[in-house]
Amino acid sequence: MDSLPFPSAVVVWLDPRRPDFGVKLVEDVPEALYSLHRHGLEEAIRGPQSGLWKSAAGALVQAEVDPSPSNLRVAYEAFLQLAKCVAPVPTKIRKVVCPRAPRERIASFFSMA
């Protein structure tokens, strides 16, 4: 079954211990489920953010089984919250890698020039 994409990509570090290593754009439920066990997010299951990890995992599985718009939105929000707490990407980098608003898209275009 094809999964609907997230409303916007979630940006996560490929290796939070090495920020110079780069970032990954997680754009749908299967990528988010895969990312739960990588990119430093897997360590959250045993740490203080274990509740966020379990909440994100449950919401993502629910969205995988029933990809309704409401389930997809809940999964996106839960995964985004987990990524922000466990492996945050600075806003400056996120705006260049994954601009959301038209103003961010224009600014990212000029920052790469």
Whether 113 has a pLDDT exceeding 50, the answer reads no
Determine how many CB atoms are found less than 10 A away from the CB of residue 90: 9
Angle between helices 50-65 and 69-86 (to 10 degrees): 150
Q: How many domains does the chain have?
A: 1
Q: 33 lies in which domain range?
A: 5-112
Burial 26-48 (b: 16+ CB within 10 A, else e): bebbebbbebbeebbbeebeeee
Dihedral sign (CA 48, 35, 79, 19):
positive
42-76 pLDDT, tens digit each: 888 888 889 999 999 999 999 999 999 999 999 99
